[in-house]
Structure 1
Amino acid sequence: MDDQLALRIRLFHESGQVRPEVAAFVTDELDALATEGHTVTEDTAALLTSHLMMALNRLLDGAPLEQFPTDEQVAAELAGHPEAVARARAVSVRARRELGATLPDSEINFLGLHLAVLLDRHPTV
């Protein structure tokens, strides 16, 4: 993870927008992607980082997450990215186990889309 992305996480945490455990969880997920050889930078993972931190924090705060049906376009896009879908589901399982935050299907789909972009544009070396 590059310094700018680490700064993004730190600013979310220090400003009180996300809980420390959310910042740590997202940092661990990004570090795992980087360890696997994916390019994890502000340019490649900023939207993924912000979206995941805010969704997890809202869940832990008991705030509702808007449910979006998976439309045909999203379903078609995800069908071509089984690795991203599997990764999104795995992140969801870890979030439930480690944070007690259960991501709804619509959030898992959005996470899958973010991961598909990162994994496709920046495959492992």
Structure 2
Amino acid sequence: MDDQLALRIQLFREGGQIQPEVVDFVAAELSALADEGAPVTEETAGMLTSHLVMALTRLLKGESIEKFETDEQVAAELADHPAAVERARRTAARAETQLGATLPDSEINFLALHLAVLAQRVSG
């Protein structure tokens, strides 16, 4: 993780709006991705970081996450990225177990899109 991404995480942690366990969870997921060889930097994972932090925060606050009209399109785009979809599902399962936050399919799909882009950086 580069300094800029670490700063993003620090700002979430110190801002007082995000539960510490959410920040810890996302930081652990980023570390796991880095351990798997993904280039986890502000440029490559900044949006992934913010998206996951905010989605988990909304869920833990009991706020609904609406289904997006583009879910079918996103799912179609993910057809060529089964590893990203599987990784997103594993992340969602850990979020449910560790935080009690159940990510809906639309959020899992968007997480998978972020992961697919990250994977392309590794293979591309």
The TM-score with structure 1 as length reference comes to 0.93
Q: Which amino acid aligns with 2:44?
A: T
Verify: 1:18 aligned to 2:45, yes or no. Answer: no
Are 2:2 and 2:42, in contact at CA under 8 Å, matched by a contact in 1?
A: yes
Aligned length: 123
Which 5+ residue runs of structure 1 have no aligned equivalent?
none
Q: Deviations over 1:72-118 (max 9, x none)?
A: 43122100000100000000000000000000000001001011001
Are 1:70 and 1:109, in contact at CA under 8 Å, matched by a contact in 2?
A: no
Which 5+ residue runs of structure 2 have no aligned equivalent?
none
- Which residues in structure 2 correspond to 1:8-87 (within 5 Å)? 8-87=8-87
1:70 CA displacement: 5.0
1:69 CA displacement: 4.6
- RMSD (CA atoms): 1.2
Aligned sequence identity (%): 68
Q: Secondary structure at the match of 1:68?
A: coil
The TM-score with structure 2 as length reference comes to 0.94
Q: Which amino acid aligns with 2:40?
A: V
> What residue number does 1:92 align with?
92
1:5 CA displacement: 0.5
